[in-house]
Amino acid sequence: MPELPEVETMCRGIRSIEGYQVHRVKLIPCGLKPISVTPEIGEISQTLDRRTVTGVTRLGKRVLIWFDEKYLLVIEPRMTGLVMLENPPNFTHLRFEVLFQRSRKGLDKQHAKSANHRTKKLLFWDRRGLGTIRLMNEDQYQSDLKLRLGPDALEMTAKLFLERFAKTSRAIKVALLDQGLVAGIGNIYAAEILFLAGVDPRTQCNRLSRKQWERVASATRVILNAAIKYEGSTLSDGTYRNAINGEGSYQQCHRVYDREGNPCSRCAEGIIQRIVQAQRSTFFCRSCQRKRGQHPSLL
DNA sequence: CATATGTCCTGAGAGC
DNA sequence: TGCTCTCAGGACATAT
């Protein structure tokens, strides 16, 4: 569920670990199946020991934590993973922990006196345990991550969409979820983007017009930036939280996702439909999102 | 190669 | 109340 806006919110929420030094890394035995960690935890711990966090960035739906500009932890929350600094959503779900100390150069007088600024904890919670954590160096980052993923969704332009999507015959909704084509879009935002663009989610990519790709590109930026502003979507199951256990509020802005049977907020006559594509729910308005037609989008 | 399907895992909610 | 069943969907492995 964490898609680009939720992962971006996580990154912003943990950025205060920058300048801190790794003191301890451990997998938490929580009674649930351990999450996938590569390489084994002992090697991660050894490699990161005393290294300083030099940056927290994001690529698609992954959180990247850089150490001495040389190594990075790649955290993939997948369905239910949460990267947090505090306030456990549920104690039994804690899977991974990094304890930091403020490194000597980052220790100013003011902070030296207050104990609660001397250490920090980075926690990974995952209700279902499908998330993964990988330690990489710069080369692995290039070959195992950069090369396999499409451009980050916030970088997408109509030109890039045409280059990367226009040849495939897959339905646009399904293709938008392919992280090799574009990184960061998941089931919720794919639905919202296509609604805003006025494009039928079943349309084959190779049948979309240039005009339609322009609307998709524009809607991608508009939707994702708005969702970041609202700190992501916390659905009715309440799973998603930000770094300090707060909820996102973009779910209040959803126009189609999980709104089956409700009247369309745009055309009033339409009812939001739910169909299944590639074993996933797709929500859309049949009258606002037609395969062809000159209807104006909401942009 | 492109595309489609199955699998991982847990907890919430439905139905009886 | 308490049981069983289905479903949620991100990424990758395997199949077509």
User: Is residue A194 a contact partner of residue A212, using CB atoms and an 8 Å limit?
Assistant: no
Q: Examine the residue annotation and report whether A61 is marked as an active-site residue of this protein.
A: yes
Q: Name the class of domain A153-285.
A: mainly alpha
- pLDDT band at A86, cuts 50/70/90? confident
- From the list A172, A149, A112, the residue with the least C-alpha distance to A4 is A149
Q: Which residue is nearest to nucleotide B7 (CA to C1')?
A: A130
Q: What is the pLDDT of residue A117?
A: 74
Domain with CATH 3.20.190.10 in chain A: 4-146
CATH of domain A4-146: 3.20.190.10
Can you give the pLDDT at residue A89? Answer: 73
Nucleotide B4 C1' to residue A75 CA (A): 28
User: In chain A, which segments carry CATH 1.10.8.50?
Assistant: 153-285
Q: Which nucleotide is nearest to A129 (CA to C1')?
A: B9
**Residue A1 — very low, low, confident or very high, per pLDDT cuts 50/70/90?**
confident
Q: In whole angstroms, what is the distance from residue A49 CA to residue A68 CA?
A: 11
Q: Which nucleotide in the DNA or RNA is closest to residue A191, CA to C1'?
A: C9
Distances from the Cα of A272 to the Cαs of A27, A189, A253, A259, A261, in angstroms? Answer: 44, 16, 15, 6, 5
Residue A35's pLDDT band, with cuts at 50, 70 and 90, is very high
> In angstroms, how far is C12 C1' from A179 CA?
11
* Nearest residue to A136 (alpha-carbon basis) of A66, A183, A77: A66
Give the up-direction half-sphere exposure of residue A49: CA atoms within 13 A in the CB hemisphere: 6
Instruction: Give the mean pLDDT of A223-232.
Output: 96
Q: What rounded mean pLDDT belongs to chain A? A: 91
**Mean pLDDT confidence for A131-139:** 95
- pLDDT given for residue A109 in this prediction: 53
In whole angstroms, give the CA distance from residue A213 to residue A161. 7
Spanning CA of A81 to C1' of C5, the rounded length in angstroms is 25
Q: Is A3 a catalytic residue?
A: yes
Q: pLDDT tens across A51-71, in order?
A: 999 999 999 999 999 999 999
Among candidate residues A61, A95, A134, A215, the one labeled active-site is: A61
Question: Residue A298 above 80 pLDDT?
Answer: no
